[in-house]
């Protein structure tokens, strides 16, 4: 996603050449993108709205929208982080400016939202496919909130300043959460207990996890004195054996 340009770019994974660039301002503040390989879909969150833009990954065409709708009151849902249950055909999301978490039934397009006051400034979401638990990272409350399949709060753990991204590692059954202001990656067990807090480069921004359990962190700026490009870096995190 190209947030400032309001667009999405498709790259060839083999050589990172540009395959297609969608028109500028076609997405309102795009942030997260998640690929459903089984159903040939890409979902992109439009963070200034509750909308999710939907793309066909075979034809590379924009084919529609989904929407998270807050269940009560006049709150707006501001979509940021996304998580996918491909087998169950559900898309999960969090709202940055209002304390809502939701999921969309991809078969019907119907959304369900739950208000979580403990998650203020929610930006990242991850899911454990075995238990269905959700892990929410929030920038304003500096925490990871653990929810059960019905949206009930199971744990609320402080991780450091500015929780911005979170991933579930199925190999170790652990959660990794990046703190942008804190400059760390917190490690939690599946019940939300903090087991480690790893110092990282300035302004950690995004995490992803490989099938072998290796975690990768993208930071907005490099470490002072490092030979890598100062405007950004990628850090590889592996479990010590």
Q: What confidence tens digit (pLDDT) does each residue in 6-15 have?
A: 999 999 989 9
Q: What confidence tens digit (pLDDT) does each residue in 178-233 have?
A: 998 888 899 999 999 999 998 886 788 889 999 988 999 888 765 555 555 556 67
Residue 55's alpha-carbon distances to 24, 49, 52, 185, 193, in angstroms, are 16, 17, 10, 32, 37
Q: What confidence tens digit (pLDDT) does each residue in 121-142 have?
A: 999 999 999 999 999 999 999 9
CA distance 106 to 73: 25
State residue 39 phi and psi, 5-degree precision: -115, 10
Superfamily of domain 1-115: YVTN repeat-like/Quinoprotein amine dehydrogenase (2.130.10.10)
Residues paired with residue 102 on neighbouring β-strands, in sequence order: 93, 113
Provide CATH 2.130.10.10 ranges for the chain: 1-115, 120-241
Secondary structure (DSSP) of 65-91: EEE---SSTTPPP-EEEEEEETTTTEE
Is the dihedral angle over the CA atoms 168, 29, 117, 91 positive or is it negative?
A: negative
Superfamily of domain 120-241: YVTN repeat-like/Quinoprotein amine dehydrogenase (2.130.10.10)
Q: What percent of the chain has pLDDT over 70?
A: 92
């Amino acid at each position: 996603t190209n947030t400032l340009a309001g667009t999405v770019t498709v790259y060839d994974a083999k050589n990172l050449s540009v395959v297609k660039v969608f028109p500028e301002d076609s997405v309102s503040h795009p942030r997260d993108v998640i690929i459903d390989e089984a159903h040939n879909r890409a979902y992109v969150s439009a963070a200034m709205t509750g909308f999710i833009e939907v793309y066909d990954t075979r034809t590379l065409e924009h084919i529609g929208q989904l929407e998270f709708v807050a269940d009560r009151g006049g709150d707006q849902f501001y979509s940021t982080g996304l998580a996918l249950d491909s087998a169950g055909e559900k898309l999960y999301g969090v709202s940055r400016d209002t304390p809502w978490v939701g999921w969309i039934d991809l078969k019907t397009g119907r959304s369900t939202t739950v208000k979580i006051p403990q998650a203020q400034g929610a930006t990242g979401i991850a899911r454990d496919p075995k238990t269905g638990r959700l892990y929410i990272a929030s920038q304003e409350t500096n925490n990871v909130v653990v929810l059960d399949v019905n949206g009930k709060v199971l744990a609320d753990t402080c991780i450091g300043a500015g929780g911005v991204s979170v991933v579930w590692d199925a190999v170790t059954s652990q959660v990794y959460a990046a703190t942008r202001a804190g400059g760390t990656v917190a490690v939690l067990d599946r019940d939300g207990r903090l087991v480690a807090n790893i110092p990282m480069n300035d302004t950690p921004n995004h995490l992803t996890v490989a099938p072998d359990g290796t975690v990768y962190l993208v930071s907005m700026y490099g470490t002072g004195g490092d030979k890598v490009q100062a405007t950004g870096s990628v850090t590889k995190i592996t479990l010590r054996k």
